Structure 1
């Protein structure tokens, strides 16, 4: 266990080549779950928590960690399972993570190991299970399925984010221009897709949606094979980085390596924090980076792209 606790920060420096490392953990049962190590700041034994008045019991309290006060969420209760009893909290662990510029800690029962794998081994959950769940991907390991939780959906339920774009960013003139354009968005998180789609369509943009990098690549390649100039058809592609089957880095590299679409404007967005992403965005040839999700930030990227085309 101490090996995991000591090495998480070092492992987050792994360079993305359609590869990832998963931190495996469990909640109230033997079922194992995974979280991308890139999202993890550190793992530690749960300290004594400070209770806070709250509307939801999912927020267990606050922890003071390295000079920072961090909210603690009971991940088991957040996905509809039994909460961790207060007298058992100190035997549990905190996974301190950063999502959408927000630092928080997830209370979990056990932390297992760090597993190195490829994104093409991570599969989207079967459509037959429906959309009313917190599952974003699955992965087979030791003849059992590891479930990857859609943390962004959980956070959206706890901390609702507005999708309306302000008039300061997009006035009526901007919206008139936007109605002439078509954008592709790519994200494995259902809540992230819906947030982006609502914001972009509210500007008047037409939106094509892909659920992961593989699906986006197949769509673009099929269009190019049929003679469609995708760089003219789409104003831009806005893609998540961490996705099953094909990550955003690999998707961008393939687009930029294909002469038919190498001029496509690609913006990568992610809930991961830190300067690492900016350097990787440049390495794979993407045209920009966006920390998700903020409706005005998203709209500003689109407006900037439209304005750059008007100047030519």
Structure 2
């Protein structure tokens, strides 16, 4: 798996690979780009007073890593065949975490436009589902692993106090466009950007909606540099991911001058080159909101 990582999103192809795994009879998925390796279960050392979703810790090649029981986090029954369980070792938000699942079946190559946004009827504000993809007549649910981690450790999420320490600023006349699929993160970004003085922000649930908005400004004869000063985008989004959005903007002569900052849990030393190849001006790993605000200041002043 390691050898294939980094191929699909090099040029913003709007494709990804997902690892399909099972919890009970349900099928779920995780982006391959988050997965370091998949191993058989090893002995887990319980930690006193740990969060109920945390089984404990393991040592893997000299690193001590937390183990999250995904079934517990989702409110599902425990495994009926623990000997067949798997540990998915993942890395995002500058941390490594082990996710205990019941099975790992296969890898699928798909396009982001195959991924449907969860319906508001069953998603809800506390949903851990970020997308639904139909494969071979079945539905695979893409989990919001960042939310699973933040539910356990809220301090690992966006912290508005980081922005408050930057001091007062007046930026209300600056127009920002934000593409972010998570309702929770859209709310957090709205609040923290407002705290930083950025009150004129349009939010979109995916890259396609953001691109349509930008292209419509051009069609309607708007001066794009006057209408939008900067774009912030996540990477993982249904319909159109942030890399493809960035590529489409930079390939459009009437949009290319807009600075783009990629704000994602997938910004690591190994993956940073992906955003560079599609033309992003800057990249910030979630949840470093203070660094994001400083970069916004830099690129729009």
TM-score under structure 1 length normalisation: 0.88
For residues 65 and 239 of structure 1, do their structure 2 counterparts lie closer, same or farther at Cα, with a shift above 3 Å needed?
same
Q: 1:64 aligns with which of 51, 59, 62?
A: 59
For residues 38 and 180 of structure 1, do their structure 2 counterparts lie closer, same or farther at Cα, with a shift above 3 Å needed?
same
Listed as ranges, the gaps of 5+ residues in structure 2 are none
Contact 2:163 2:195 in 1 (8 A): no
For residues 188 and 15 of structure 1, do their structure 2 counterparts lie closer, same or farther at Cα, with a shift above 3 Å needed?
same
1:54 positional shift: 2.5
- SS for the counterpart of 1:112 is strand
Listed as ranges, the gaps of 5+ residues in structure 1 are 1-7
Q: Distance in 1 between matches of 2:56 and 2:83?
A: 13
User: Which residue number corresponds to residue 104 of structure 2?
Assistant: 111
Contact 1:169 1:299 in 2 (8 A): no
Alignment deviations for residues 80-129 of structure 1 (CA, whole Å, 9 cap, x no partner): 222458xx655411101112101101000000001111111112112332
> What number of residue pairs does the alignment pair up?
294
Q: 1:252 aligns with which of 246, 251, 266?
A: 246
User: Which residue number corresponds to residue 281 of structure 2?
Assistant: 287
User: Which residue number corresponds to residue 74 of structure 1?
Assistant: 69
User: Which residue number corresponds to residue 214 of structure 2?
Assistant: 220
1:207 aligns with 2:201: yes
- Counting only pairs closer than 5 Å after superposition, residues 159-198 of structure 1 correspond to structure 2 as 159-160=153-154, 161-166=157-162, 170-172=166-168, 175-176=169-170, 178-198=171-191
Contact 2:45 2:57 in 1 (8 A): yes
Structure 1 residue ranges, 4+ long, deviating more than 6 angstroms after superposition: none
- Counting only pairs closer than 5 Å after superposition, residues 4-15 of structure 1 correspond to structure 2 as 8-15=1-8
For residues 54 and 232 of structure 1, do their structure 2 counterparts lie closer, same or farther at Cα, with a shift above 3 Å needed?
farther
Contact 2:163 2:293 in 1 (8 A): no
User: Which residue number corresponds to residue 291 of structure 2?
Assistant: 297
User: Which residue number corresponds to residue 45 of structure 1?
Assistant: 40
Q: Distance in 2 between matches of 1:114 and 1:65?
A: 24
User: Which residue number corresponds to residue 227 of structure 2?
Assistant: 233
Contact 1:210 1:216 in 2 (8 A): yes
Contact 1:152 1:192 in 2 (8 A): no
1:126 aligns with 2:119: yes
- SS for the counterpart of 2:109 is strand
1:60 positional shift: 0.3
Contact 2:175 2:227 in 1 (8 A): yes
User: Which residue number corresponds to residue 263 of structure 2?
Assistant: 269
User: Which residue number corresponds to residue 152 of structure 1?
Assistant: 146
Range with bigger deviation, 160-169 or 211-220:
160-169
1:247 positional shift: 1.1
For residues 81 and 74 of structure 1, do their structure 2 counterparts lie closer, same or farther at Cα, with a shift above 3 Å needed?
same
